[in-house]
Amino acid sequence: PPLPIPPEVENDPEIMKYWAQRYRLFSKFDHGIKMDREGWFSVTPEKIAHHIAERCRCDLIVDAFCGVGGNAIQFAFTCERVIAIDIDPVKLECARHNAAIYGVADRIEFVLGDYLELADRLTADVVFLSPPWGGPDYLTADVFNIQTMMQPDGYKIFEKTKRITDNIAYFVPRNADVEQLVSLAGPGGKVEVEQNFLNRKLKTVTAYYGELVDG
């Protein structure tokens, strides 16, 4: 049977609208999925996470800002090993719990820490970047500037990641500045900017670099 609405959701009008979409976020929601408040508006919908995971197939992937685990869980189905990093212990505990519900916790190494500090010691075939967008307010801007509106700076995150691998998937809001995403590829570099739709609505954008570019 469907779970009752938790009081912290019912008393929060902003989150209530996400409650109606809970099965889009996690198909196994009723099995006991755990989320913090920010998780409601920042977790990648499962279908989109599944699609990105198919494109990022590899032996070892790093999910640099794993949040409550929506992407890391899907990566565990397509990659041999997943390193899932988050600076927030509550989110990381949610991610670990949720991965167990999907039966993939054994393929994911959960790391509590600051990705920018850990990056120099990491090796990976692919890195997935989904830095915090600063809550639902990001959609009020005409264009989301990944350098000034992301904390930490979206350019700095990318440059740090290039030291690990050129194979980067960058997950950004649907109103992200495409010219900025293209410029990150550098002179002569390749990038593929993909729009992610759900129920015919543009939800998010994923930029692929390195060998992740299709064709």
In order, the DSSP letters of 13-71 are HHHHHHHTTHHHH-TTGGGT----HHHHHHSPPHHHHHHHHHHT-SSEEEETT-TTSHH
d(CA 76, CA 61): 9
Profile the chain (215 residues) by mean pLDDT over runs of 10 residues. 85 90 96 94 95 98 98 98 98 98 98 97 97 79 90 94 97 94 93 93 95 87
- What was the pLDDT predicted at 170? 98
- What was the pLDDT predicted at 140? 81
Contact yes or no for 90/105 (Cβ under 8 A)? no
Report the predicted TM-score, pTM, of the whole model to 2 decimal places: 0.95
Contact yes or no for 48/204 (Cβ under 8 A)? yes
d(CA 63, CA 107): 13
- What was the pLDDT predicted at 106? 97
- What was the pLDDT predicted at 69? 98
